[in-house]
Structure 1
Amino acid sequence: MSRQLPEHDPAASPAAHRSGRALRADARRNRERVLQTAQQLFAQEGLSVSLDEIARRAGVGPGTVHRHFPSKEALYLAVSIDQLERLVAEAAALAAGEDPAAVFTLLSRMMANGAENSTVKSALTAAEFDLRTAAPDVAADLTGYVTELLDRARTAGLVRADVTPGEVMALVAGAFAAIQHAEAQTDPARAARIGGIILDGIRAGSR
């Protein structure tokens, strides 16, 4: 039996659909604004900044922040996943190109991102959150692009023949710790130098 529609359904009107799409678009923009603001404030001022202050700086109401992120931990996780998704987008763009050394560009960006978000990552670790578990598809996509770009660099003779994607990902994680140990999180040039020294170890002829 076919479902009979009511004689007049305002929600089914073109205007209502346009309004719903606009509302969803506004909600997405507000969420993105909150995430970007939170990431900046966490990096600049630490984790003690309140959700209400993040809302004020983002130009949205406190209710908007609390609706999307009911706790500080939920916001930490969302910020980290958002940054991971941005890295995947950058990786996809690099994979679409033809630069044989693109893997070094991606790994450098990953290290810089880790340094910029080290405070949030530390909070997630303390709360026993693992991004590979919380966002397995995104993490797998990033690892896949690293593998693809590493293979390209290996074919071009730019990286050691024996280095594996797992080892490269471990080096990136180690770079986060090295940058933090050197207290270089807020010094992009120094963080980049430390990352560069680490990456030199996977270049062809480095043994």
Structure 2
Amino acid sequence: MSSRTPERPSTGPSPTAGNDREPRADARRNREQVLRTAQQLFATQGLGIPLDEIARRAGVGPGTVHRHFPTKESLYLAVAIDQIRRLVTEGEALAGTDDPAALFTLLSRMMASGAENAAVKSALTAAEFDLRNAAPDAAADLTRQVAGLLDRARHAGVVRRDVAVDEVMAIVAGAFAAIRHAGADISRERSAHIARIILDGLRPRPR
């Protein structure tokens, strides 16, 4: 495998060259629509769908897609990072509740997201992209959300007291592999079933 350091594609709206102003609101909306559409199409139709078809389905011109994402690889990475950021937002919302078992809700969503984006993650792995290096802030934010919910769950006695956040993150990563190995990444019901089995291992043992 090559040890190259891939050029990092843009992961967020960036100013026009020579202009420090934020992009227009419609440009941001278009980019978000492209990301949502691409994620859905990659999950349902695979990675072979052309950028121009993604543009058509998103209701934008081909130039809009190519301007934000000049290569498929850059779009894969942006979709994956967008999913992490959405999970961070979900974690923040769960942290604002008083549900002691909110950890399991977030971990279930993380596993579902991983199953839905399995093809994208595989493509990034093949291209030697590491999301933790490509988007360290987003990855760290997600780990912090998990850590906070884990601490709450531990104090409430709804999770094993001997589990650490790095172990939880490893379990989630392993769940992606388990779901894909079982061929369950194309079935939300089966992937959710496998996720529940895995998450049961985090619950306190009966006395």
TM range (shorter): 0.7 to 0.9
Which residue of 1 is the match for residue 28 of structure 2?
Answer: 28
Which residue of 1 is the match for residue 46 of structure 2?
Answer: 46
Q: Give the alignment's TM-score, normalised by structure 1.
A: 0.88
Which residue of 2 is the match for residue 167 of structure 1?
Answer: 167
2:132 counterpart letter in structure 1:
R
Residues 152-163 of structure 1 correspond to what in structure 2 (within 5 A)? Answer: 152-163=152-163
Residues 124-139 of structure 1 correspond to what in structure 2 (within 5 A)? Answer: 124-139=124-139
Shift of 1:157: 0.7
CA distance in 2 between counterparts of 1:181 and 1:48 reads 21
Shift of 1:205: 1.1
Count of paired positions: 187
Q: Is the 8 A contact 1:160 1:206 kept in 2?
A: no
CA distance in 1 between counterparts of 2:67 and 2:155 reads 49
Per-residue Cα deviation, 1:70-105 (whole angstroms, up to 9, x for no partner)? 110000000001111000000000011110000000
Which residue of 2 is the match for residue 10 of structure 1?
Answer: none
Per-residue Cα deviation, 1:149-172 (whole angstroms, up to 9, x for no partner)? 001001011111110101100000
Residues 6-155 of structure 1 correspond to what in structure 2 (within 5 A)? Answer: 24-155=24-155
Which residue of 2 is the match for residue 184 of structure 1?
Answer: 184
CA distance in 2 between counterparts of 1:119 and 1:145 reads 25
Matched residue SS, 1:202: coil
Change (3 A) 1:164 1:56: same
2:40 counterpart letter in structure 1:
Q
Q: Which has the higher helix share?
A: 1
CA distance in 2 between counterparts of 1:33 and 1:91 reads 22
CA distance in 1 between counterparts of 2:48 and 2:190 reads 26
1:46 counterpart letter in structure 2:
G
CA distance in 2 between counterparts of 1:131 and 1:96 reads 27
CA distance in 2 between counterparts of 1:163 and 1:32 reads 36
Which structure 1 residue ranges, 5 or more long, are not aligned?
Answer: 1-19
CA distance in 2 between counterparts of 1:206 and 1:136 reads 38
Shift of 1:33: 0.7
CA distance in 1 between counterparts of 2:164 and 2:206 reads 15
Q: Is the 8 A contact 1:200 1:206 kept in 2?
A: no
List, as ranges, runs of 4+ consecutive aligned residues in structure 1 with deviation greater than 4 Å: none
CA distance in 2 between counterparts of 1:148 and 1:162 reads 15
Which residue of 1 is the match for residue 16 of structure 2?
Answer: none
Change (3 A) 1:51 1:154: same
Shift of 1:206: 6.0
Which residue of 2 is the match for residue 15 of structure 1?
Answer: none
Per-residue Cα deviation, 1:37-72 (whole angstroms, up to 9, x for no partner)? 110111111111111111111111111000000110
**Aligned-CA RMSD value:** 1.3
Which structure 2 residue ranges, 5 or more long, are not aligned?
Answer: 1-20
1:198 counterpart letter in structure 2:
I
Shift of 1:114: 0.3
